[in-house]
Structures are given as C-alpha cells and as structure tokens.
Structure 1
C-alpha cells in the first residue's frame, strides 16, 4: 500500500482562518488562490437557463460539450496561429484535473517531471498523483526557468516539464526569448512541455506569449492547460481543459469516461457563456494591475520586506527574511501564524512553495478589503509592536 500523499499546504492556512471565523473573528484573507469577486451575472444566468433545459439533465459527451470545445479551440488558435479543432480539446474538472489527465497519459512509474522552484505545490502533487516523480528546478532571480537549470536536472527518466507563465506564486512571465530557448532544449531531448496557462489573462508588462506562438514546432509535444477559474472568477464551477495531440486527448477522454463519465453539463454551459464574455477578464486585469501597484508599494514601505513587482498573475511574493531576523522568527510560517492570530490577516508562508523567507499575498480582492488588510499589516508590524515567538502553523515542509 502506497503512503498517503500530503495535502496542499495552502489548505492549512484556509482551515485555520475558517476556524477563527467560526469563533467570531473578523479574518481577512489574502491567502486564497482565487478572485474574491462573484461570478458574473451573464454566466450565472446562463447556468440557470441550463438547469431549466431538460437536455441538460442527462448524460453528456465524455470529451465535453462540442460547442464549448470549439470556442476553446478558437481561443487557443488565436494565441498560437495554429489551427486547433474541437477534437483537440478535452474538457476537465478544472485545470488541476486537466493536468492530471495529461500526466496520466504521458508518464509511467519512475518517470520524472520538472517543476519550478519556487512553485505552486499543486504541480508537484499532480505529478505524484499520476505516479511520477516531481523534480524541482531552481529558477533564476526573476523566477524563470533557464535552459542551464533544466539541463542540470534532466536525467534519462525526464519525461516532461510543467511551465506556468504567469507563474504562481511568483507572477513571473517567461518572455519570448526564454520560451524559444526552452522549446529548443525540449525538442532536442524529446521532452514534453505542459503549458499551464491558467493566469494568462493577467499580464501587466505586455511580455506574455503563449509557448506555441513562439515555438509552433512543438505542437506535437505540448499540452496546453487552461480554464475559466481565475479570469472569470469561477473557481467553484470546476471547468478546465487541455489541448493536445490526438493520442493524448483519446487517453484523457477514456479516463474521463471510466471515472467521472463527463464534466457536469450545466457547468459547461456556464463556461461557454464565460468565454463569450471578454469584458470581465479585461476589467479584472485592470483592477488587479492597480491593486498590484498598491500592495507592492505598501509592502516595500515596511522595514524588513522587499517585494518585487510581479509581471502577472494575482499574487505578490515578498522576501521577508530581514523581517524574520529582526523579529526573532525562524520561518515565514511563524510570521504567517502570528499575523493570523494577532491581526486576523491570512497570508501563505513561503514554505508552501519551497521558498522559505517569503510570503504569498493575493491582491485579487476588492479595494476596501485590500486597504483594510494593508492597515492591519502596517499596524501589526509597526516598530513599536513586539513580536513574541509565534506558534508554528501546520504547513508541510
């Protein structure tokens, strides 16, 4: 019997925040990896209409609704100048499920998949769930992969690399030159690239490029993963997809058919409406750009915190190592636990991303929430405050 997998350490933060709320505490969370906003009315109304449609009350296609697959294919084609068709798309229960469907096709026991360090723990977890071994690859000062680092970690068992741009938690965007070098390296060694594009709508520097737009020659060894969760504030709806060569799609379709049968039809109709709504992601990106500037400025105004301006995504990822030394904390988990207990402010410690000495702060919240959170943070970390030794937060290390 195999050992149980560790749960995502970010969930420990959410669980403790929820426990405090249950006790009556007014907790503000900047720890969630999701927009605070509600799903748009357009999407909700489409879902209500679908619920009332008797056709939606029955089994659907394992590969997904043809209309949804067609609009996903069009969107990906527009980003790559390659012709994707509905048959190249598999609808999944969110992007995490899409990653799993790809990996269960591409890897076998003993195969290795390269993942970013620091990086989202879900990438490591999904590789493990699919039976592979996740190998962390140290990123450069801008939190990007270099070919040298990838080559250093490559072995005869390396099967794939997961590339996320913009990344979580770093917000790093791989510019075209980086992607081109990575593509040539992958092609030379016969390595698959799984491009996790879930944050693609949130590019604040204008440098984002899809991998296959830069390197269309990798079409036959690339899986593109996406979904509506982040850009349409639909994390709870669980609609994602993968675009891939036909053999990968055939395997994914069979896996869905044998396990979940199909993704709920009503949710797919909601996603179809979402992909027809370009205003919501554009408005969110504009709001996040402004809030990104605000939180980074405020974090950098606190002694002991050094926060780079993220290229994209929904998170700031400041270095708090100097603050830890000044206050006598041994880890960012100590700081996160103290902030939650003292200021009722939830952030994610860097240990969750294999980045000790950092914290992740989500700015995909409304202005009032962000301003109040900043006030709590500034007050809690004011020089006159004496930070006692904080209790350890339950975070996997």
Structure 2
C-alpha cells in the first residue's frame, strides 16, 4: 500500500480493542464489563427524544442545509451560558457548531497549521488528537506530565520551536480524568501568548467537573480570543453521540478560517442534533445536574473500592469525569495485558500504550478505565475481578 495521509497514523484504538472480543464467550454469571470507550450507551432522555420527534415532524428547516458555522440560536445560547458560567464575555459570533468535538479539533488544526508545523500535546494524550495531527502532516510534540498527571507550562516552554503553532490541553482530561487547576491553565495561556501560539483547551467533559463555579478564568481576559480556542461536546451532556454536535469557541477571524474547513467537509452540522442540543440546554439543567451527580458518585466509588487493588500493587494515577487511569503491577506490557483481561476477567479496557508514542516510556504499565457506563455496583465487580487476577 502506498504511503498516504491515513497510513501515516495508527488504527483507531477503540475499534482495535473491540476485535479482542471476537470468538470470546461471556457466561451469564460473568458478563463483559466494557470500560473501553468514553461515551454514553443510553439514548437521550425521553423528554428530549419526544422533542426531537416533534422537530422531525414539525420543523421543515431541520431537514435542509443550514449555516456552515451552525444554528444561530444554538451559537447564541452557548455564548450566553459561557459568559454566565466563565465570566468575561463570549459573543455568538465567537461560537461555531461542529459535527462533534473531534471535528472541532480537526477544524482548529486546519486553521492553525501547515505541513511540518508542530503542536505540543501532554502525554498521555487523547489518541484522536494525535491521529489527526499525523494525518495533517503536523508533528505531535509530547510533553510528559508531572505529579498528579498535570502538565507543566515551564517544561512545555522548552519544547517550543519556530514551527510550534499550538498547545492542546484536555481538561477534565482524557485519558487520565484529572481536572487541570485554574493556575495551570492560566500559566499555559501566558506561555502561548508570549510565543504567539494558540492554546487549544478541549473541555468535552466540563459538565462533569467536580468543582463548583468556573474551572478557569481564561475567558475573563478581555483579549482571550487572541490566544484561546476552546472545544466542547454536547454528546456527553445530552447523550447525543450519534448526532455529532460539538462546538469551537474562538475569534471571529479564526472562525472564518474554520468555516472553510467545515464547508468542504460537512457543509453544515447535523440539523436535528443542533436543535436537540439547544432544547437540552434550555430544558434539561436539572436532569443534567442529576447526571453529573451520578458520575461524581461513580468517581467516589472508584476511590472507595480502589484499596482492594492497591493491596495487590496497583496505583491510581488519576480519576475524574469519565476516567480512572491506573498503573498495574504485572511484569508485562499493558498492550499484552489488556487483551488477556478480556478472556481472564471479562473486562475490556484500553492499554496506556494507546495514549502515547511508541518510544515514550510509561504506557506499558498503565491502563485506562472508562467508568461512565458502569454504576457503583459495576465498579465494585470490576475491581473484584481485577483483584482476583493471578498472572
């Protein structure tokens, strides 16, 4: 096969892991625990589905092309809510709606980078970010995280070259789950501004942050849009994964460049999904608060039950939002351990090697647990199975 944009990167990790299930039977008394993917498996709540059905039948515009940068009412709603929740000022013209948050990242990189440019990514990284950089001819420069799986702006400064165009952060983090302190984000904002770089902050999981109030104050800077590009996903908040609705918040100038990318890829975001997201934002605050409380309870369950793994030599490196990131005690790579867990424990999860370059140390002893789709009892069962391993 000739070398192409797609051959420059690796196969989708979640799809690769699903192949480990081929030919494996899971008995009724030990069903599969799938903690491999960070996505809701339930459909949207019933009131939202009813609203979507009405939209399908009653709103002719929901079936036609719409504005490339998204539904004006949804852009305005995001701007209003972001202004209220973060402080500062965000205008509707600084918001674009995308076909999922992955597309938001892809569009931002397309607007920022060209062949041979560089983007700094904390490691472990979200693998789809790395994949898109590879396919764009952009070098992903790994930044090793420090204590608590938190990146350090001072260490990032040493990685900046004349080809660096952006630093991309994810908070709450995927895969580690940790919530970056406001001071950390502020330090990265200052670093990016000093070097005329963009700071991309992916806040896909912001609705499940354990902190009260704004997680950072970046939007209070009157010139935030000269540096900051924020990404968001409606998929996790309203269970709209299949409808692909995300957002990018940036300067009007950058959105004008992003518009070129979006127009040539999808023309417009999913019309039904956008209307569903708008309805959810306007009607489901109380429901979403309950969803957040449930996720926080599952996070607490991780802490409650982890001692049984700690007694076996496991370490909890990070936990929050949808994820727990752990270090296993076995004398084998996580790339070999993860497939074995399917057969020996009935557990599907992802190895740390999927979240970092092949030549970067650490991933072979690490695993990601995406716990959003197992409840407190399921978490107890998961840890019982892992604790019972004899390898």
Q: Calculate the TM-score normalised by the size of structure 2.
A: 0.89
Question: What is the distance in 1 between the residues matched to 2:183 and 2:38?
Answer: 29
Say whether the 8 Å CA contact 1:179–1:214 is kept in structure 2.
no
Say which SS state the counterpart of residue 39 (structure 2) adopts: coil
Partner of 2:74: 68
The answer to whether 1:306 aligns with 2:312 is no
Report deviation, 1:280: 2.8
In the TM superposition, 1:235-384 aligns within 5 A as 235-276=241-282, 277-302=284-309, 303-308=312-317, 310=319, 312-320=320-328, 323-325=329-331, 330-354=332-356, 355-367=363-375, 370-372=376-378, 374-375=380-381, 377-379=383-385, 381-382=387-388
Question: In the superposition, relative to structure 1, how do residues 17 and 278 fare at CA in structure 2: closer, same or farther (>3 Å)?
Answer: farther
RMSD in angstroms over aligned alpha carbons? Answer: 2.3
Partner of 1:223: 229
Report deviation, 1:37: 3.5
Question: In the superposition, relative to structure 1, how do residues 68 and 19 fare at CA in structure 2: closer, same or farther (>3 Å)?
Answer: farther
Say which SS state the counterpart of residue 356 (structure 1) adopts: helix
Report deviation, 1:341: 1.1
The unaligned stretches of length 5 or more in structure 2 are 357-362
Partner of 1:43: 48
Question: In the superposition, relative to structure 1, how do residues 83 and 148 fare at CA in structure 2: closer, same or farther (>3 Å)?
Answer: closer
Report deviation, 1:281: 2.5
Question: What is the distance in 1 between the residues matched to 2:382 and 2:218?
Answer: 43
Question: In the superposition, relative to structure 1, how do residues 309 and 244 fare at CA in structure 2: closer, same or farther (>3 Å)?
Answer: closer
Question: What is the distance in 2 between the residues matched to 1:207 and 1:114?
Answer: 28
Question: What is the distance in 1 between the residues matched to 2:345 and 2:274?
Answer: 40
Question: In the superposition, relative to structure 1, how do residues 48 and 20 fare at CA in structure 2: closer, same or farther (>3 Å)?
Answer: farther
Choose 241-250 or 213-222, whichever is displaced more. Answer: 213-222
Say which SS state the counterpart of residue 149 (structure 2) adopts: coil
In the TM superposition, 1:167-246 aligns within 5 A as 167-206=173-212, 209-210=215-216, 212-213=218-219, 215-246=221-252
How many pairs are equivalent?
376
Say which SS state the counterpart of residue 306 (structure 2) adopts: helix
Report deviation, 1:352: 1.1
Question: In the superposition, relative to structure 1, how do residues 79 and 380 fare at CA in structure 2: closer, same or farther (>3 Å)?
Answer: closer
Partner of 2:20: 16
Structure 1 residues 296-346: Cα deviation after superposition (integer angstroms, max 9, x where no partner): 332331212111452x311111111xx213xxxx11122211110122211
Choose 250-259 or 223-232, whichever is displaced more. Answer: 250-259
Say whether the 8 Å CA contact 2:148–2:318 is kept in structure 1.
no
Say which SS state the counterpart of residue 181 (structure 1) adopts: helix
Say whether the 8 Å CA contact 1:342–1:380 is kept in structure 2.
no
Say whether the 8 Å CA contact 1:69–1:87 is kept in structure 2.
yes
Partner of 1:161: 167
Say whether the 8 Å CA contact 1:20–1:27 is kept in structure 2.
no
The unaligned stretches of length 5 or more in structure 1 are 388-397
Question: What is the distance in 1 between the residues matched to 2:67 and 2:222?
Answer: 29
Choose 373-382 or 67-76, whichever is displaced more. Answer: 373-382
In the TM superposition, 1:105-120 aligns within 5 A as 105-120=111-126
Choose 332-341 or 134-143, whichever is displaced more. Answer: 332-341
Q: Where do 4+ consecutive residues of structure 1 move more than 6 Å?
A: 21-25
Q: Calculate the TM-score normalised by the size of structure 1.
A: 0.88
Say whether the 8 Å CA contact 1:212–1:219 is kept in structure 2.
no
Say whether the 8 Å CA contact 1:93–1:239 is kept in structure 2.
yes
Report deviation, 1:287: 0.9
Structure 1 residues 265-316: Cα deviation after superposition (integer angstroms, max 9, x where no partner): 1111111112222123211221111111212332331212111452x31111
Question: In the superposition, relative to structure 1, how do residues 216 and 178 fare at CA in structure 2: closer, same or farther (>3 Å)?
Answer: farther
Report deviation, 1:84: 2.1
Partner of 1:392: none
Structure 1 residues 193-234: Cα deviation after superposition (integer angstroms, max 9, x where no partner): 011011111122448623524645432121111121112222
Choose 68-77 or 34-43, whichever is displaced more. Answer: 34-43
Choose 189-198 or 280-289, whichever is displaced more. Answer: 280-289
Partner of 1:96: 102
